[in-house]
Amino acid sequence: MKIAILGATGWIGSAITAQAKARGHDVIAIVRDPAKINEEGVVSRAFDLTSDDDFAQAAQGADVVIASIGGRAAGNHDLVAKTAARLLNSLANSQQRLIWVGGAGSLEVAPGVLLVSSPEFPSEFKDEALAQGEALDIFRVNEKATQWTFVSPAAQLYPGESEGTFRIGGDAFFTNSNGESKISVSDYAKALVDEAENAAHINQRISVAY
């Protein structure tokens, strides 16, 4: 399988790239600066989200696109929802599926009550969480032919190796037996590549946590 990874140089994108390569997939790294990609066996293609370039060209030949982007680094959170709409439109005339690296803030702690609205939600991540919620809304009203999956991580997503078995949920926020919502980036990347391989949750939001 050929997997295109938008944002492959980020810390989540790098983990996805490593996981896809470890499983023997062909990886296309779509990044703003291809010079940053020096991994053997990874094809790099230049693409700038702030440009008017055709994303379909950058993703050409891929079976699945995994998009890992955010607006926090550039201070441009509007970029998130705009990119979701842009990719859905760009891939609509292809058979390529789109898997989106989402956020936890839009998970429901109670029916209709989002995690991002809880008093304990860290203020420094609120704008990013709201932006990802807007992207999820874009996916849910999508009328293009593009098949998508929005993958929310646990509330705590952190660097680290696999810690074993994780669970797949839906819109509801869930925790482990200790009341913790967490997932390592390695296991989150596993869940994303699982979805790329299996296409088990088409046009759905899923969540991943221990």
- Domain ranges in the chain are 2-209
- Segment 141-165 shows an average pLDDT of 96
Separation CA 104–CA 106 (nearest Å): 6
What pLDDT does 70 receive?
83
Whether the pLDDT of residue 71 is over 90: the answer is no
Give CA angle at 43 (4, 98), nearest 5°.
Answer: 5
Separation CA 127–CA 77 (nearest Å): 7
Q: Tens digit of pLDDT for each residue in 42-54?
A: 999 999 998 889 9
- Segment 165-189 shows an average pLDDT of 97
Whether the pLDDT of residue 73 is over 60: the answer is no
CATH homologous superfamily of 2-209 equals: NAD(P)-binding Rossmann-like Domain (3.40.50.720)
What is the SS3 assignment for 23? coil
Whether the pLDDT of residue 74 is over 70: the answer is no
Q: Tens digit of pLDDT for each residue in 125-146?
A: 999 999 999 999 999 999 999 9
What pLDDT does 127 receive?
93
Contact 174, 150 (CB under 8 A): no
What's the chain's average pLDDT? 95
- Letter string b/e over residues 56-77, b meaning 16 or more CB atoms within 10 A of that residue's CB: bebbeebbbbbbbbbbeeeeeb
Whether the pLDDT of residue 80 is over 90: the answer is yes
